[in-house]
Amino acid sequence: MRQIYFLAFIFSFYYGNAQLHISPSITGDSYIYLSDRFLYVEDEINLKKNNSPETEASIYLRKESQLLQGEKSTNLNSGNGFISVFQEGTSNAFDYNYWALPVKDNISPNQFGSMIFQPKSKTNSNPVQVTGGLEGSSNPLKISRRWIYKYSGTEYSDWQYVGVNFDVEPGEGFSMKGVNGTDHRLINGVENNPGNQQRYDFRGLPNDGEIKVPINEDQNVLVGNPYPSALHLQSFLLENPVSTGIAYFWDSRTNGNSHDLKDYEGGYGSYSPGANAYAPAVFKTYNGGGEETGNSGETGSEIAREYSPIAQGFMVRGRNNGFIHFKNSQRRFQKENSQTSEFKNQQRSEIPLLKLNVAFNDLYTRPLLLAFREDSSKDADWAMDAKVYGVLENDVGWNIEEAFYNIQVRPFRKNDKIPLLINLSEDSHLTFNLNDFRQFETENIYLFDAEIDSYNRLDEGVLSIDLPKGNYSNRFFISFIQEKEDNLQSELPEEELEFLIPEALVVQNNLKAQLEIQMVQSDLKQILLYDLNGQMIYNKTMPVGSVNYTVPTSGLQDAIYILKLISSDNIEFTSKISIKN
């Protein structure tokens, strides 16, 4: 038997456009076994099935090994062989995971049970059994077909039953419940199911190349990482302007004990690539028809989301009609860890950020994230600001265009007042608590009440207030300074008061296809222009004493842009502008 163990980076530099062919020889099986490594193949892969059931696969990805391939428009991988890759999901038969298959079936197309296996050893696995019962089991591994759905639409009724007739295309996601029981079989020192995680073996021809999933405006679609490698979710979202640029992840109460929808507790958390941060879900309750009935009092886990692990599923929302594109350039060798990529644990962000938790009647908490980037604006920015997925009857969010957002990205201005949107269906007791700062430092943070003109410190402990039911859209703000009663002075030193925001007149002259800028109180030092993806497209340093300037826009597409002006006093002015030539 010919076993090939090697470090994948040696192979990756062997040929710039290398192909990979693996087939059994006259004397025995041939396969590649990778442990804690990655394999890179520039072009296509051709795999021939081995003869022995013990080593049937051609490529084994173990201990988070991954397969990456060079950029191409279609999947050229071929043959009757397959790869084998492990991934873990919940072991509870009442809880959902959202999946996407990293492989396709080249033997029995559209048959669900032909691509998922129960691991028996490092190289041998049994085909999973599919049951029509409500609950699956771990040993032998049985999966209930009753809970396999895909989703595309706007309502709960838009869930589409899949079952074993698996018409789920690469890139599309699907729901699947976990299993009961345990499987203490050890593989590489880890049990198949110690009682909280179930290991699955995905076997098939590896997905590769560009993969497209249709989406329509204002439509939610369940998609997922279609590759046997990690997906850089940040790049994926920023490269798909047809979506809103936000990914939503289902999370639910652990150890559920009912299949009745009215007993479910769960919700969707939001990942913003612009903030590179994840706002956990607030768990809701539902009736038998899938309508939301309230909240459960729990909040979801902090989860690393910058990279999506193999087979991870998530929701995206359409911004326009078109296609979501998965590409090989978005793939990475990234093992699951608590900082950037995992199914459950703590996250990290390199963008300045603070987290505000708002609790309602001591029952549940809405986490709100506020991040700061100079290429953002105070308005809704694509792939930065994340709308709440399903607003509660009693809820709070960042107020952007009178809508609830749980993630807001904006430039930091110390004198800004950042509005909150609060809606209460009943008299409520609210508790505000700042519990996380990431690369963000400021001396004071206040909750400003515009109705009674009061400031309350948030950075010194928990703040509680009682409010009658109603909608509060222009009353409460986050502030970094406390203005005194005479409104003539503030906590800022005098030298910062004169030009807090240098006044500028900015006009887009469509007839001349140019952006006209005139400074009112200060000289102009630098002009920068960004698109909504954060890419700088114009940078001009001005001569001393400049107060007027025009930026030609004839070569720009009609779109929204971020204009940033820097005065001679090094004071910055940022605004969102619409350019139409």
**Residue 484 binned pLDDT confidence (cut-offs 50, 70, 90):** low
Answer yes or no: is pLDDT of 357 > 70. yes
What pLDDT shows up at residue 502? 47
Averaged pLDDT for residues 236-263: 88
**Residue-averaged pLDDT of the chain:** 86
β-strand partners of 551: 515
The three-state DSSP-derived secondary structure of 132-161 is CCCCEECCCCEEEHHHCEEEEECCHHHEEE
Strands 2-5 and 30-35: parallel
What pLDDT shows up at residue 338? 52
With a CB cutoff of 8 Å and minimum separation 6, the contacts of 351 are: 275, 276, 277, 371, 372, 373, 409, 438, 439
Are the C-beta atoms of residues 357 and 371 closer than 8 Å to each other? no
What pLDDT shows up at residue 491? 44
Answer yes or no: is pLDDT of 144 > 50. yes
Q: Report residue 498 as tokens.
A: 């004169």
What pLDDT shows up at residue 335? 81
Residue found by looking up tokens 């911004």 in the block: 319
β-strand partners of 20: 45
Say which residue, 30 or 17, is predicted with more confidence.
Answer: 30
Q: Determine the CATH number of domain 498-579.
A: 2.60.40.3080
Helix-strand-coil split of the chain, %, nearest 5: 5, 50, 45
What pLDDT shows up at residue 145? 94
Max Cα–Cα distance, the chain, nearest Å: 92
66-80, 138-152, 439-453: the lowest-pLDDT one: 439-453
Look up the pTM and report it. 0.81
With a CB cutoff of 8 Å and minimum separation 6, the contacts of 392 are: 282, 284, 292, 294, 295, 366
Residue found by looking up tokens 């249709």 in the block: 214
**Helix (H), strand (E) at residue 285:** strand 282-286
What pLDDT shows up at residue 537? 87
With a CB cutoff of 8 Å and minimum separation 6, the contacts of 481 are: 414, 415, 444, 446, 490, 491, 492
With a CB cutoff of 8 Å and minimum separation 6, the contacts of 291 are: 156
What pLDDT shows up at residue 487? 43
Q: Is the dihedral of CA 230, 232, 237, 240 positive or negative?
A: negative
What pLDDT shows up at residue 293? 66
Answer yes or no: is pLDDT of 368 > 70. yes
**Residue 494 binned pLDDT confidence (cut-offs 50, 70, 90):** very low
**Residue 459 binned pLDDT confidence (cut-offs 50, 70, 90):** confident
Answer yes or no: is pLDDT of 432 > 90. yes
CA 523 – CA 566 distance, rounded (Å): 9
Question: Would you list the domain boundaries of the chain?
Answer: 90-106+125-187+206-332, 353-479, 498-579
pLDDT in tens, 289-302: 777 666 666 788 88
Are the C-beta atoms of residues 36 and 65 closer than 8 Å to each other? yes
Answer yes or no: is pLDDT of 107 > 80. no
pLDDT in tens, 306-344: 999 999 999 999 999 999 999 999 999 988 765 555 544
CA 184 – CA 325 distance, rounded (Å): 39
439: left (phi over 0), alpha (psi -120 to 50) or beta: left
**Residue 218 binned pLDDT confidence (cut-offs 50, 70, 90):** very high
**Residue 348 binned pLDDT confidence (cut-offs 50, 70, 90):** very low
Averaged pLDDT for residues 399-410: 95
With a CB cutoff of 8 Å and minimum separation 6, the contacts of 79 are: 23, 45, 46, 47, 48, 49, 58, 106, 205
Length of the chain measured in residues: 581
What pLDDT shows up at residue 570? 79
Q: Report residue 292 as tokens.
A: 């939301």
- Could you give the angle at the alpha carbon of 63 between the alpha carbons of 179 and 98, nearest 5°? 40
